[in-house]
Amino acid sequence: MRNLTTLLFAAGLGFLLLVLAAGLPYGHPPMLVGQGILQQAPATTGAANIVTSVVLAYRGLDTLGELSILFAAAAGAGLVLGGHRRRRRPDPDGGFILIAGADLMFPLLLVVGLYVILHGHLTPGGGFQGGVILAAAFFLPLLGRPREALDHTAISWIEGLAGAAFIAIGLWALFARGDFLAPMLGKGVLGQLFSAGTLPLLYAAVGLKVGAELSGLLADLAATEARDP
């Protein structure tokens, strides 16, 4: 009986999908909003990367919500793991290969992360992707030298200032132009580094905030992974 019910459900779902697919106008995309953004975003925001226009301009409030969720998750994990981090001895340093590899990769990851953040309005990438790379850059040396813990005070300051800068730029646009996170400072020339107004500044704030939060979270996880029983 259960197999028959599953078969009927699958058949009904397949029939529904076929009916919906048959009614789609093939060759004419139904995404009217998406088509409007593709046509108007470059001239409106000055960003060559349309994704940047969507993330920071057209749905900037949603991006602010994502940053808030990430902050809440990192803060909660830090509170849970903080006590274990203070009660355990640090792990011994890694071997020569791990330490040398970490020292070699740190500047490379740092440059790549900053490049991805600063060019997010021109090419695929941006604050979230670049922030993850920055977090990996600062966490990798910690694997080789666990005794050299990250400075959580500096991380907290960077995270707080980056989040405040994001909100401050959004409020500036709200009071000046009536729209939260609307691009300011002029659009510039499409495709050049100094273009898209304040969107690169917003991505820089996002990248620093994401990098600080994730690096602190990874440091907490590393400090509690092999704690003494």
pLDDT tens-digit readout, 96-155: 788 888 888 999 999 999 999 999 888 888 889 999 999 988 888 887 777 776 777 788
Beta-bridged to residue 195, according to DSSP, are 188
Are 165 and 201 within 8 A, CB to CB?
A: yes
Q: How far apart are CA 146 and CA 1, in angstroms?
A: 58
Nearest Cα to 116, choosing from 207, 19, 25, 218? 207
In angstroms, rounded to a whole number, what is the distance separating the alpha carbons of residues 17 and 24? 11
The mean of the pLDDT values for the chain is: 81
Q: Are 60 and 205 in contact (CB under 8 A)?
A: no
> Distance between CA 127 and CA 227 in Å, rounded?
33
Distance separating alpha carbons of residues 204 and 116, to the nearest angstrom = 10
pLDDT at 228 over 50: no
Q: Which residues contact 163 (CB under 8 A, 6 or more apart)?
A: 67, 71, 205, 209
Count of residues for the chain? Answer: 229
In three-state form (DSSP H/G/I as H, E/B as E, the rest C), the secondary structure along the chain is: CHHHHHHHHHHHHHHHHHHHHHCCCCCCCCCHHHHHHHHHHHHHHCCCCHHHHHHHHHCHHHHHHHHHHHHHHHHHHHHHHHHHHHCCCCCCCCCHHHHHHHHHHHHHHHHHHHHHHHCCCCCCCCHHHHHHHHHHHHHHHHHHCCCCCCCHHHHHHHHHHHHHHHHHHHHHHHHHHCCCCCCCCCCECCCCCCECCCHHHHHHHHHHHHHHHHHHHHHHHHHHHCCCC
With 0-12 / 13-18 / 19 or more C-beta atoms within 10 angstroms meaning exposed / middle / buried, residue 163 is buried
Average pLDDT over residues 73-99: 69
pTM for the predicted model, two decimal places: 0.75
Q: How confident is the model at residue 227 (pLDDT cuts 50, 70, 90)?
A: very low
Q: Is the pLDDT of residue 225 over 70?
A: no
Task: Render pLDDT for 1-24 as a digit per residue (tens, 0 to 9).
Answer: 667 778 888 888 888 888 887 777
